[in-house]
Amino acid sequence: MAGIYIHIPFCKQACFYCDFHFSTSLKRKNELITSICKEIQLRKNEISGDIKTIYFGGGTPSILKTEEINLIINEVYHNFKVEDNIEITLEANPDDLSEEKIIQLSRSKINRLSIGIQSFFNTDLILMNRAHNHKEAATCLELATQYFENISIDLIYGIPGLSDQRWVENLDKAISFGVPHLSSYALTVEPKTALKKQIDLGKVSPVSEKDSHRHYLILLAKMKKHGFVNYEFSNFGKEGFYSQNNMAYWQGKNYLGVGPSAHSFDGKKRSWNINNNIKYIHVIQENKLPIEREVLTITDRYNEYLMTGLRTMWGVSISKIDLEFGKAFATYLLKQAEKPLEEGLLKIHNKDTLLITEKGKFLSDGIASNLFMVE
């Protein structure tokens, strides 16, 4: 099983918290779509197995016309072996999802929407400089649920000024639409973003880790109550609706990243495309790949397995570490895990699987990093 991630680096406007690669200019859109299709052709031999998931991320993929999306999907089908029950996800913003656009998408090979709601309140949307408003958020879900069964909603917590009550109302509103999946992330302040500058100037209150932690606990309880499984730290799904793209990433499956700034992983190597649209187009036009590659050491691969595995409900297998990385790594892991096990942040299931506990979930990245081996 393998997945293909396609990065569409265009947005109508810049969200204040975003540090992903994107452009608000659509001048080179046609050239870039042609280049993405060409890159798919150039990399057709990099994956030998069946493709189980195609994921359009960004940026804002829904800014593309449906026929442009279909063109890229068809290129994947022409160059790779695709599973019959493939999951094809399009990240979409509410302001792009008119009824006409939703109907067009429902008639395409797209069978899953990931909608960037982020909040149902204008106060939050304005603070983050989102392109949509609260009415568009609700309207697009009312329409989308009529044409798509598999829909995910994105929500952000830890927003300055977001009260516990408003966060609960956000979750209740999301659940009320009957969608089977929700992804929820804490607002993070990245360097060189507009949000960081506003906080530094005192125009926006700093993000509070205490508020984020409290919001996360509310999220866990609310989603569990409504039958969602927290299969990965930030992802909640009903049975049968876990994101195949997410699972491929967090379970260490191979994935191919296409488009400017897209990352790839084949189990032993990481690679990433140049994060400049014009340079990307020019290199592809020369039938070359604008890509850098890094061969992972055995220590890198061990650390990667811990970082991704511990965020999931499947955890990490001590016997797998022994088999794939060697006894020294398994011994080291158990030694490093002694303290978090004593503190109730980790647990061992069936004498083999190391799992983050409910108590440790919000600290999962920090716990994992303390288990890393340093070369």
Tally of residues, the chain: 375
DSSP 192: T
Q: How far apart are CA 251 and CA 369, in angstroms?
A: 17
**Of 228, 257, 256, 258, which is closest to residue 243 (Cα–Cα)?**
228
| Interacting residues of 282 by C-beta distance below 8 A, sequence separation 6+ | none
pLDDT in tens, 37-90: 999 999 999 998 899 999 999 999 999 999 999 999 999 999 999 999 999 999
Q: How far apart are CA 365 and CA 348, in angstroms?
A: 18
Q: How far apart are CA 69 and CA 77, in angstroms?
A: 13
The pLDDT, as a whole number, for residue 269 is: 94
Long-range contacts of 119-126 (CB under 8 A, 24+ apart): 119/155, 119/156, 119/159, 119/162, 119/170, 120/169, 120/170, 120/173, 120/174, 121/166, 121/169, 121/170, 123/161, 124/156, 124/159, 124/161, 124/162, 124/166
DSSP 161: T
> 158: cis peptide before it, omega within 30°?
no
The pLDDT, as a whole number, for residue 236 is: 98
The pLDDT, as a whole number, for residue 282 is: 97
- pLDDT under 50: residue ranges of the chain: none
Q: For residue 231, what are its two tokens? A: 């299969």
Quote the mean pLDDT of the chain: 95
The pLDDT, as a whole number, for residue 251 is: 87
Can you list the domains of the chain with their CATH numbers?
Answer: 2-249 (3.20.20.70), 298-375 (1.10.10.920)
pLDDT in tens, 275-295: 999 999 999 999 999 999 999
The pLDDT, as a whole number, for residue 19 is: 79
DSSP one-letter string for 247-292 = HHHHTT-EEEEESTT-EEE-SSEEEEE-S-HHHHHHHHHTT---EE
Q: Does the pTM of the predicted model rise above 0.85?
A: yes
Q: What is the C-alpha radius of gyration for the chain, rounded to an integer number of angstroms?
A: 21
The pLDDT, as a whole number, for residue 14 is: 84
- Do the Cβ atoms of 86 and 52 come closer than 8 Å? yes
The pLDDT, as a whole number, for residue 247 is: 87
**Of 56, 78, 58, which is closest to residue 66 (Cα–Cα)?**
56
The pLDDT, as a whole number, for residue 370 is: 93
Q: How far apart are CA 69 and CA 67, in angstroms?
A: 5
Q: How far apart are CA 345 and CA 358, in angstroms?
A: 8
Cβ of 207: how many Cβ atoms within 10 Å?
A: 17
